């Protein structure tokens, strides 16, 4: 997508979007011809600029765009970044067609205060998940995407252009996450995911190491490799990426760990139909880490950041892990396998232990589509956040509220910690007697055993990372949830 600027309105865009506040005076609209259209519509009671109100007008002269969309933002007093972003997104979604390749936005009045959420709303919906369609079907799917976005306004400030550029970086990185999550497991394999990680790191000049199965075994990551046992010749890898800016803060690094289950069958505790079909999306946590790293250099984040992604599949063959197996983790704790479908916490356990020991971070945050219980508890609007440091959780909540990528804290009670202790080993990967009770919190209680004394938070994104019912700024399937939240967190922590 190409972004350009123009001081004067031209007929170039296929549609011009004109955001207007409720009760706005016509003088707030910078272009005289658009102002006249607004005055005529308002005088006749055809447009009140209520939030989400949209009126499409066809340009009446050659020097105006063919389509002009008057878009109501509602009353200024009730506005928020989220409401502006969502209103813009809905308007663009409603306008998407093969005829719309260039979108124009009229920047005038107080709309400049909201220029980043305005830009995000437009850009985030410029995505289509149908990456494997061919021929006419592909043309229909991709044909609704626009290629150019023009901002029309007199003397758009350098600060606002910077905000628009930030929106573009965030949106493109969100789409990178969406592509990885939506990627079919025979296309985005363990090796392919690792290669995409390398491409991203090379583009930005990051240090990256992709450790193979032999290295993982030598390190004693038995919890991780237990999950991989049923994958036959298919490999396991551990991706470690480091971002070290030239003028970095002297604080210890931030560690980000993402679950990278390329496909999760459930293992011998096989997932049933209606639950197994979309388990290619179980790599959303790892994909999120890649997307976050894609922003760090371009946005000049000042913190040292480390990303770790354990990559494997959870499949079934004669060597596959069985319920009642006992594995030894990287930190030496033994784990009784009570359910092979509680595998995400196992690969995260070794990745967390290794990351905390090796990099000694100030904060550690992990991301995982970990439990169905989180979807039951919080639906598709909130991610669950749990951890051992209230200051860290508070920062994540604040960033979630600011970006409208919301999180809700769930407890880790001492009883839940006791429930994760094993019968014949140090721990068990699921409390099978009462696993439906506080399943999300108990999964976090399990992970807590592997972070030592590090300040740590766990984000369960099971309900927010992927879905059939897209929110305003999303398209169907993968959402890219968490990227804008975490960038804000990294900018402010």
pLDDT in tens, 98-119: 999 999 999 988 899 999 999 9
Q: Is residue 162 part of a domain?
A: no
Q: What percent of the chain has pLDDT over 70?
A: 100
225-256 pLDDT, tens digit per residue, is 999 999 988 899 999 999 999 998 999 999 99
| Same-domain status, 183 and 147 | no
User: Do 198 and 315 sit in the same domain of this protein?
Assistant: yes
- Asked whether the beta carbons of 368 and 459 are under 8 A apart, the reply is yes
Selected catalytic residue, list 259, 303, 345, 455: 345
Would residue 166 count as lying in a domain? no
| Domain CATH for 79 | 3.40.220.10
What pLDDT, on the 0 to 100 scale, is given for residue 95?
94
Is the same domain home to 119 and 59? yes
Asked whether residue 353 falls in the same domain as residue 465, the answer is: yes
Catalytic annotation, pick one of 35, 271, 398, 417 = 271
Q: What is the pLDDT of residues 303-313, one digit of tens each?
A: 999 999 999 99
Verify that 183 and 134 share a domain, yes or no. Answer: no
Shared-domain flag, residues 60 and 119: yes
Domain count, the chain: 2
Q: Looking at the structure, tell me whether residues 244 and 359 fall in a common domain.
A: yes
Cα-Cα end-to-end distance for the chain:
31
Which of 119, 152, 185 corresponds to the end of one domain? 152
303 is catalytic: no
Q: How many CB atoms lie within 10 A of CB 214?
A: 9
Residue 169: inside a domain, yes or no?
A: no
Q: Are residues 192 and 70 in the same domain?
A: no
Q: Could you list the residue range(s) of the whole structural domain that residue 92 is in? A: 2-152
| pLDDT, tens only, 461-489 | 999 999 999 999 999 999 999 999 999 99
- Is 90 exceeded by the pLDDT of residue 434? no
Same domain, 76 and 118: yes
Do both 290 and 196 map to the same domain? yes
35 among known catalytic residues: no
Answer yes or no: do 191 and 231 share one domain: yes
Give a yes or no: residue 158 inside a domain.
Answer: no
268 and 385 assigned to the same domain: yes
CATH number at residue 289: 3.40.630.10
- The reported pTM is 0.97
The pLDDT score that the predictor gives to residue 155 is 87
Q: How confident is the model at residue 373 (pLDDT cuts 50, 70, 90)?
A: very high
């Amino acid at each position: 997508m190409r972004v350009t600027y123009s001081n004067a309105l031209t007929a170039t865009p296929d549609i011009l979007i004109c955001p207007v506040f409720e009760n706005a005076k016509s003088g707030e609209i910078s272009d005289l011809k658009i102002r006249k259209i607004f005055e005529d519509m308002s005088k006749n009671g055809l447009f009140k600029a209520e939030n989400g109100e949209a009126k499409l007008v066809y340009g009446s002269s050659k020097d105006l765009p063919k389509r002009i969309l008057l878009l109501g933002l509602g009353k200024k007093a009730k506005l928020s970044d989220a409401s502006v972003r969502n209103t813009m997104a809905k308007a663009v979604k409603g306008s998407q067609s093969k005829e719309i390749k260039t979108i124009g936005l009229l920047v005038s009045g107080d709309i400049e205060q909201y220029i980043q959420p305005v830009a995000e709303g437009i850009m985030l919906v410029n995505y289509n998940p149908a990456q494997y369609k061919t021929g006419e079907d592909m043309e229909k799917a991709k044909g609704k995407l626009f290629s150019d976005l023009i901002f029309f306004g007199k003397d758009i400030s350098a600060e606002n252009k910077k905000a628009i550029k930030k929106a573009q970086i965030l949106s493109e990185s969100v789409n990178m996450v969406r592509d990885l999550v939506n990627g079919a497991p025979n296309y985005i394999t363990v090796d392919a995911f690792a290669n995409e990680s390398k491409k991203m790191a090379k583009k930005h000049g990051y240090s990256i190491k992709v450790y193979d199965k032999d290295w993982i075994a030598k390190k004693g990551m038995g919890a991780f490799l237990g999950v991989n046992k049923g994958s036959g010749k298919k490999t396991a890898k551990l991706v470690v990426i480091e971002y070290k800016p030239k003028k970095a803060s002297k604080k210890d690094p931030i560690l980000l760990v993402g679950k990278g289950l390329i496909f999760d069958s459930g293992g011998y505790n096989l997932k049933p139909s209606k639950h197994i079909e979309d388990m290619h999306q179980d790599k959303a946590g790892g994909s999120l880490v890649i997307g976050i790293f894609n922003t760090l250099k371009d946005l000049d984040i000042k913190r040292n950041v480390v990303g770790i992604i354990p990559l494997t599949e959870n499949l079934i063959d004669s060597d596959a892990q069985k319920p009642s197996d006992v594995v030894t983790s990287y930190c030496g704790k033994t784990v009784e396998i009570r359910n092979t479908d509680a595998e995400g916490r196992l690969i995260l356990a070794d990745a967390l232990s290794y990351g905390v020991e090796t990099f000694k971070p100030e904060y550690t945050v992990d991301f995982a589509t970990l439990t169905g219980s989180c979807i039951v508890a919080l639906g598709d609007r909130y991610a669950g956040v749990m951890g051992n440091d209230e200051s860290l959780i508070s920062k994540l909540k604040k960033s979630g509220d600011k970006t409208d990528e919301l999180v809700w804290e769930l407890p880790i009670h001492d009883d839940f910690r006791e429930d994760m202790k094993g019968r014949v080993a140090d721990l068990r990967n699921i409390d099978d007697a009462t696993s439906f009770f506080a399943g999300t919190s108990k999964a976090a209680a399990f992970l807590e055993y592997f972070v030592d004394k590090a300040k740590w938070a766990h984000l369960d994104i099971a309900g927010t990372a992927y879905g059939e019912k897209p929110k305003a700024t999303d398209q169907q399937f993968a959402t890219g949830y968490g990227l804008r939240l975490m960038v804000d967190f990294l900018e402010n922590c």
